[in-house]
Amino acid sequence: MRARITIVGSDIFCSLDTAGSRNLRIELSNETFTSLNDWSGKYNRVVRSGDPSTLLTLGTEIFTWFDEGGWASEWVKGTGDRILEVAMDDPGSELASALLDLPWEIMVYQSDFLAADPNQAYIVYRRIGPCAGAVPATPAYRDLAVMFMAASPEGQRELDFEAEETAILAATARLPIQLFVEESGCSDFLKERLALDGPFEAVHLSCHGDIRSDVGPVLALETPE
C-alpha cells in the first residue's frame, strides 16, 4: 500500500491511495516543529556515535506520532509493498525541511523495524517539486543504459570504488544492461559523456557528500585536474 505525506496549507497531510481509506491532518504548531527536529537531532547523534541502541525507541516514537486515528497502522496492514512518499512542492519552508530530514527509514511497528520485515518491502522516497502536469518520457524499448562514476577527491576518505565497479559488472553480466563507466570522477566530463553516449535511464554515483552552510547538500567530486 502506498502512503503519501505532504503539506496542505500550513498543516501536514497524510493520505493513502486506497479508496475509502482514512486521511490524517496534523495541525502546525510549535510542538510539531519541536517533535520533528528532536527526532532528527536524536538520529544524527546516533549516526555520529555509532550506537544504534536507541533506534528502536526512536522509530517507535515517529510511527506512533503518525498513527493518530490509526492512519499509519492502516497503511502497514495493507497488501503489497509498503511505499512511503514524502512529497514537498516547496522544500524551502521550515516544515518541509523538517519532514524531509526525518529518518522515515527507521520507523517501527509492533517492536520491529518496517525495513526488517522479510515479507513486505518498505520503500521510502522523497520527492521535491511539483509533479502535476508533468509528461513522462516516452519509453525506449531497448536495453537499460546505466552510467557509473566514482569520485575520490583529495582530502576525503578513499572509497573502494574499484571493488564496487567490479561487483556491479559481475551482478549485471547476464542482464540486458549497457553499463558505461566514467573514470574521471569529475562532473564536467560526466556531463559530456551523458550528452554524447546517452540517453541513460540511470546514473550510479559512488562518492562522499556533505551539507555546507552556504549552499546546502553537496557531492564530493573531483576537479578536471
The answer to whether residues 81 and 163 belong to one domain is no
Q: In the prediction, which pLDDT does 115 show?
A: 93
Q: In the prediction, which pLDDT does 141 show?
A: 65
The answer to whether residues 66 and 103 belong to one domain is yes
Domain annotation covers residue 180: yes
The answer to whether residues 79 and 123 belong to one domain is yes
CATH code for position 171:
3.40.50
Q: How many domains does the chain have?
A: 2
Domain annotation covers residue 137: no
Domain annotation covers residue 135: no
Domain annotation covers residue 27: yes
The answer to whether residues 12 and 101 belong to one domain is yes
The answer to whether residues 115 and 76 belong to one domain is yes
Task: Give me the domain span that covers residue 169.
Answer: 144-220
pLDDT digits (tens, 9 = 90+) for 181-222: 898 989 999 999 998 887 888 899 999 888 888 888 889 999
pLDDT > 90 fraction of the chain, expressed in percent and rounded: 31
pLDDT digits (tens, 9 = 90+) for 94-138: 888 889 999 999 999 999 999 999 889 999 989 887 765 566 667
- The domain boundary, picked from 83, 99, 128, lies at 128
- The domain boundary, picked from 93, 128, 163, lies at 128
Instruction: Give 55's pLDDT tier (boundaries 50, 70, 90).
Output: very high
Q: Is the pLDDT of residue 59 over 90?
A: yes
The answer to whether residues 118 and 157 belong to one domain is no
| Mean per-residue pLDDT over the chain, rounded | 87
The answer to whether residues 124 and 175 belong to one domain is no
The answer to whether residues 12 and 84 belong to one domain is yes
Domain annotation covers residue 109: yes
The answer to whether residues 14 and 98 belong to one domain is yes
- The domain boundary, picked from 81, 97, 128, lies at 128
Q: In the prediction, which pLDDT does 136 show?
A: 64
Q: In the prediction, which pLDDT does 179 show?
A: 85
Domain annotation covers residue 194: yes
Neighbours of 151 (CB within 10 A): 21
